[in-house]
Every structure is written in C-alpha cells, then in structure tokens.
C-alpha cells in the first residue's frame, strides 16, 4: 500500500513527511491530523478547501491543483474517498467526511495475491485502485458499463453502420494492451487517452463521469486522472475487474 503523507510546516516552508504503513495496508499514524471541520460545498473557496485537496492528494486521490477552489475535479476525488470510506457520495464535506479524512480507511484489496503492479476495478463501489510495486499509486472514481442494451447508428469506416450490444464491463482478469494518445474516435464515441485491457474495453478519460454506471462498457475516468494514468500503467499489467453495481 502507498504510504499516505502528512504535511508539516518547517521553517516557513512545507516538508512532506511520509507515514509508515503496516502489513495488510493498515495505516500507522505518524501524528495527529486535525481537519478544519468547516462545511464545504461545491464552489467553496479558501484554506479549508486547500487542506482538503492536499489531504486527498497525500492519500493518493487526485483532486487536481491544490488551489483552494472546490470544483469538479476535486469533487470526483471526494466521491472516490467517500466511497472507500463507506460514506454516501455527496458534494458536501461535512462531519463524517472530515472525520474520515482524519482517520482514513484503505481500499479493499480485491486480489490479495495479485501481482505487485496491477489495476483493480471495483464495480460495486465504482472505483479503480492502481498498485505499483505493491503500493497504492492512485485511487479514482469511475463510471463503468450501464448494463443497458444499446443500438446506435454511427458513420464508421466511411459508411453509416448500426451497432448493437450490451453495455457491460465484464468481470475477470485481463491485461493492458494497446493505447492511444489524446482523443481517440471509436464507433461509439470519443475516448481520451484510452488504455485497452479487454478487447475494445478501455480505461479512458471522459467529460462525463457520473455517480452511476453510464458507459458502453469502458471504464470512464475523470479527465485529470486520464492525463496521468498512461505514465503509471504500463503495457501487459494485470487488470482485475470485480463486483456488481446495485442501483
């Protein structure tokens, strides 16, 4: 598991002190962490938002810039954190979320004997956890296949074609294969920085990553996560997909 970090002031600068991690991913606290406790809502600004962003970043979530502005990128990281900690996802940062930020849980390991570097997709919680060298590298909110059958008409390979299928993200064990940089056009839409792992199913950035499964089968990621994932997830890395989303 990755070692969460606490930020401590040092002679007017900021020094990052890494906390030790015990076996089985149990966090060992290097010192007390006290959250601001101020209720925050989407659009909030200020030092409490900055604290939130830095804490999420230290815990391996990706809230975007630590700029004290609570926008959509930070919201996606908040959702991921809340889901890992058993809190109903919400844009509001209240007592339960602040308390969890002081004493965070680690994500449930889906494949205890998995390879040191792997991606685990939890369809039940709609999160993805990336492990690199047996440490948590990132945790992110996702949106997987909606489970709804579809038929769509699209111009593909120069002609109008009809595509039908079931919008599911199959469970199982896979490996990352090919990828594309930037926007990649598929017959079902545009994928940002896609990394394929099961035929035409990929991790990819999307402008819409709602709190419910909404894709044709791919694993949608917030755009800022899709920006950095290609540099962290190599070719041939195991991808384990588990669970089932209950509406």
Residue 101: CB atoms within 10 A of its CB come to 22
3-class DSSP assignment, residue 229: helix
The secondary structure element, H or E, covering residue 226 is helix 223-228
**Helix, strand, coil fractions of the chain, as percent rounded to 5:** 20, 35, 45
3-class DSSP assignment, residue 77: helix
What one-character-per-residue DSSP string does 192-207 give? Answer: EEEEEEETTEEEEE-S
What is the Cα–Cα distance from 117 to 237, expressed in whole angstroms? Answer: 7
Pair of tokens at residue 227: 């920006």
3-class DSSP assignment, residue 111: coil
Nearest by Cα to 6 from 39, 37, 36, 29 = 29
What are the residue numbers of the active site? 204, 218
What is the Cα–Cα distance from 139 to 120, expressed in whole angstroms? Answer: 10
What is the Cα–Cα distance from 173 to 167, expressed in whole angstroms? Answer: 19
């Amino acid at each position: 598991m990755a070692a969460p970090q606490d930020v401590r002031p040092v002679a007017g600068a900021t020094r990052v002190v890494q906390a030790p991690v015990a076996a089985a991913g149990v966090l060992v606290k290097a010192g007390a962490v006290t959250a601001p406790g101020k209720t925050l809502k989407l659009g909030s600004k200020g030092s409490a938002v900055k604290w939130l962003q830095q804490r999420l970043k230290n815990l391996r979530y990706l809230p975007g810039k630590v700029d004290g502005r609570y926008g959509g990128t930070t919201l996606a990281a908040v959702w991921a954190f809340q889901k890992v900690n058993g809190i109903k996802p919400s844009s509001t940062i209240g007592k339960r979320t602040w308390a969890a930020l002081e004493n965070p849980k680690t994500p449930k390991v889906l494949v205890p004997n998995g390879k040191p570097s792997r991606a685990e997709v939890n369809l039940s919680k709609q999160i993805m956890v990336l492990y690199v060298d047996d440490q948590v590298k990132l945790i992110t909110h996702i949106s997987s296949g909606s489970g709804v059958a579809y038929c769509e008409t699209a111009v593909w390979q120069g002609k109008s074609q009809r595509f039908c299928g079931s919008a599911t993200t199959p469970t199982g064990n896979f490996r990352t294969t090919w990828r594309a940089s930037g926007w990649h056009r598929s017959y079902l839409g545009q994928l940002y920085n896609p990394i394929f792992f099961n035929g035409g199913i990929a991790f990819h950035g999307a402008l819409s990553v709602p709190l419910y499964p909404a894709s044709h089968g791919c694993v949608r990621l917030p755009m800022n996560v899709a920006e950095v994932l290609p540099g962290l997830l190599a070719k041939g890395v195991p991808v384990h997909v588990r669970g089932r989303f209950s509406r």
